[in-house]
């Protein structure tokens, strides 16, 4: 058998599920000449409005040798031990305490459990079913549960999301996460779709399946278990305190996300080494989805074949470098506060992405490292508290049309329609952000309007978007992933400052657990 890879195979939109005849033609064979094939990557090419198509990269086998070209190249067979069966290199005790059931904690727990460890998973929030009820109650009554909300609870911040599975790095760990998602019920194409996404509705189903698998493997899951302190003595983890109770622990995997500000403060008190880092903040911009679809696909596109259009925007550095973050086509806005008296926004979508609106964070890089360890966290908190006041102290959000934002004047007409569920209050957002950040955002909106005409005139800004990434990093050894100076503590995921997004956070968990081997006593 001869093995090849075709690097770029254009396939008409309506033939997405049937690339074989196109592959055979490109290889100069009849379809029966292709003995096996496997998609490696699939993306949408919309560079030419009238010739939008899918582009596959495919590995395939033939019985006879074919001519190689720059687009069709020979390939060696890949061999290797499955990742979960590779022997670890670092000694770990048999019992592992994992704190946080977001993507990082869940995948660490699952991978450790599959490799024979006894896992205790602590999650401050509730299981998916109760979490959904808590959020519904919050949206109706405006009574925020600081332990069970859009960011805290089973699934972490990754649950109420668009479920985008994009990740800047692709490696064996991210591949394992995608394989695992397929084993939980996700469509097989998430393995190779360039812009795969799942949506909140599907994620909650997979999470319940994952919970069942963890329990089957003997893991113990403690919902409502908030870890308040990690007891570090002589540079070693000795115990953790959860809900006021001390639990002896030799190995703690800390995957508490970037919104557990109490955890950062407690780690600092325990002497764990943290450092400040740059982060980003700004607004959620909302637009009619039809505006984005028309710009990307033209007026005649069949959206049932292309899906709702996405955008990725970045303003040049000399305009402040604002950029779009976590765009949700056909999505809705969500208030994602974790403390009373503070307001933060974000966006999510369902698997169909069929809503009338598109939303994305438009954020400005901020680095307050020179002002102290907690300067970034404090700035986020101040901004969220001010937004809560401006929004009427009831989880309404301050908002402004982009046209009024750019002109820095109050809105003269009612605000455009929005999906924000707890109400909007017209505001002058430069008063929230201050002139410098507001100026950078305004310049970026004008720049983005050149890429997507109508971006300013038809857009709405809802503020503030503060939870894009962590303003702190927990120092860890790049080889062992152990906290620098604290034996037995393994900071993971977005909260540790080394990952961003669902897949990369989950992959961080897989990576740690595949490094480990059970320490044999005596």
18-47: which residues touch ligand FAD (CB under 6 A)? none
Classify the phi-psi angles of 244: left when phi > 0, otherwise alpha if psi is within -120 to 50, otherwise beta: left
Token readout for 42 is 């699939």
Specify the residue, 99 or 214, whose C-beta has the smaller distance to ligand FAD.
Answer: 99
What are the angstrom distances between the C-alpha of 192 and each of 38, 308, 366?
10, 19, 34
Using CB under 6 A as the binding rule, whether residue 199 contacts ligand FAD is answered as no
Q: Applying CB under 6 A, which part among 112-120, 149-157, 307-315, 368-376 lies near ligand FAD?
A: 149-157
Minimum Å gap between C-beta 508 and ligand FAD is: 7
Q: How far is the CB of 324 from ligand FAD (least distance, A)?
A: 13
| Residue 145 contacts ligand FAD per CB under 6 A | no
Q: Which pair of tokens denotes residue 476?
A: 């860890």
For residue 232, say if its preceding peptide bond is cis, omega within 30 degrees of 0: no
Beta bridge partners of 97: 120, 252
The window from 27-35, 127-135, 153-161, 385-393 that contacts ligand FAD (CB under 6 A) reads: 153-161
| Number of residues binding to ligand FAD, judged by CB under 6 A | 43
- Does residue number 152 form part of the binding site for ligand FAD (CB under 6 A)? yes
Contacts of 482 (CB under 8 A, 6+ apart): 476, 488, 489, 490
**Among 26, 101, 219, 239, contact with ligand FAD (rule: CB under 6 A):** 101
| 44-50 long-range Cβ contacts below 8 angstroms, 24+ apart | 44/194, 44/195, 44/306, 44/307, 45/10, 46/296, 46/297, 46/306, 46/309, 49/297, 49/298, 49/301, 50/298
Which position has the token pair 């934002």?
405
Determine if 335 is a binding residue for ligand FAD (CB under 6 A): no
Candidates 158-166, 293-301, 425-433, 440-448 — which segment interacts with ligand FAD by CB under 6 A?
158-166
C-alpha pair distances (Å), 179 with each of 38, 185, 262, 503: 14, 10, 34, 11
CA separation for the pair 23, 346 (Å, rounded): 41
The 345-364 contact track toward ligand FAD, x by CB under 6 A, reads: -x-x----------------
- The token pair at 95 is 């019992």
Decide whether 5 or 137 has the Cβ nearer to ligand FAD.
137
Contact stretch for ligand FAD (CB under 6 A) within 97-105, 299-307, 416-424, 449-457: 97-105
Instruction: Tell me the C-alpha distance between 311 and 360, whole Å.
Output: 9
Nearer to ligand FAD, 115 or 122 (CB): 122
Q: How far is the CB of 106 from ligand FAD (least distance, A)?
A: 7
* Interface ranges with ligand FAD (CB under 6 A): 99-105, 122-125, 151-153, 156-158, 160-164, 226-227, 255-257, 260, 263, 326, 334, 336, 346, 348, 467, 493-495, 500-503, 505
């Amino acid at each position: 058998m001869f093995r090849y890879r075709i690097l770029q195979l254009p396939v008409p939109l309506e033939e997405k599920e049937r690339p074989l005849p196109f592959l055979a033609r490109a290889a100069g064979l009849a379809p029966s000449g292709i003995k096996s094939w496997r998609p490696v990557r699939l993306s949408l090419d919309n560079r030419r409005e009238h010739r939008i198509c899918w582009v596959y990269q495919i590995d395939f086998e033939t019985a006879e040798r074919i001519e190689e070209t720059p687009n069709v190249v020979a390939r060696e067979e890949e061999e290797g031990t499955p990742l979960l069966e590779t022997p670890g290199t670092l000694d770990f005790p048999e019992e592992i305490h994992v704190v946080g059931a977001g993507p990082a904690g869940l995948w660490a727990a699952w991978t450790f459990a599959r490799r024979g460890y006894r896992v205790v998973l602590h999650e401050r929030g509730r299981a998916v079913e109760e979490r959904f009820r808590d959020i519904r109650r919050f949206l109706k009554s405006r009574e925020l549960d600081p332990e069970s909300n859009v960011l805290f609870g089973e699934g972490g911040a990754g649950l109420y999301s668009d479920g985008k599975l994009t990740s800047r790095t692709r490696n064996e760990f991210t591949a394992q996460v995608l394989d695992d998602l397929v084993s939980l019920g996700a469509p097989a194409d998430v393995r190779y779709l360039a812009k795969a996404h799942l949506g909140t509705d599907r994620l909650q189903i997979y999470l319940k399946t994952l919970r069942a698998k963890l329990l089957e493997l003997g893991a113990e899951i403690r919902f409502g278990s908030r870890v308040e302190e990690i007891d570090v003595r002589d540079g070693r983890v000795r115990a953790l305190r959860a809900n006021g109770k001390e639990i002896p622990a030799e190995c703690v995997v800390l995957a508490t996300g970037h919104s557990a500000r109490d955890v950062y403060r407690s780690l600092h008190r325990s002497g764990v080494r943290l450092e400040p880092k740059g982060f980003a903040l700004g607004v959620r911009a909302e637009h009619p989805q039809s505006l984005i679809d028309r710009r990307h696909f033209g007026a005649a596109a069949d959206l049932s074949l292309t899906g709702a259009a996405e955008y990725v925007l970045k303003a040049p550095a000399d305009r402040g470098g604002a950029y779009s973050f976590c765009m949700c086509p056909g999505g809705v806005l969500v208030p994602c506060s974790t403390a009373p008296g503070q307001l933060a926004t974000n966006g999510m979508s369902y698997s169909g992405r069929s809503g009338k609106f598109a939303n994305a964070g438009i954020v400005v890089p901020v680095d307050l490292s020179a002002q102290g360890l907690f300067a970034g966290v404090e700035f986020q908190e101040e901004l969220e508290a001010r937004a809560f006041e401006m929004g009427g102290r009831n989880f309404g959000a301050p908002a402004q049309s982009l046209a009024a934002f750019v002109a820095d004047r109050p809105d003269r007409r009612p605000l455009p329609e929005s999906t924000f569920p707890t109400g909007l209050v017209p505001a002058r957002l430069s008063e929230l952000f201050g002139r410098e950040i507001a100026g950078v955002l305004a310049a970026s909106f004008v720049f983005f309007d050149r890429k997507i005409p109508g971006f300013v005139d038809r857009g709405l800004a809802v503020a503030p978007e503060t939870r894009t990434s962590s303003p702190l990093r927990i120092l860890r050894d790049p080889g062992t992933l152990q906290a620098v100076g604290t034996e037995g503590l393994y900071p993971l995921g977005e909260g540790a400052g080394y990952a961003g997004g669902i897949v990369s956070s989950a992959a961080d968990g897989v990576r740690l657990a595949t490094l480990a081997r059970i320490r044999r006593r005596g």
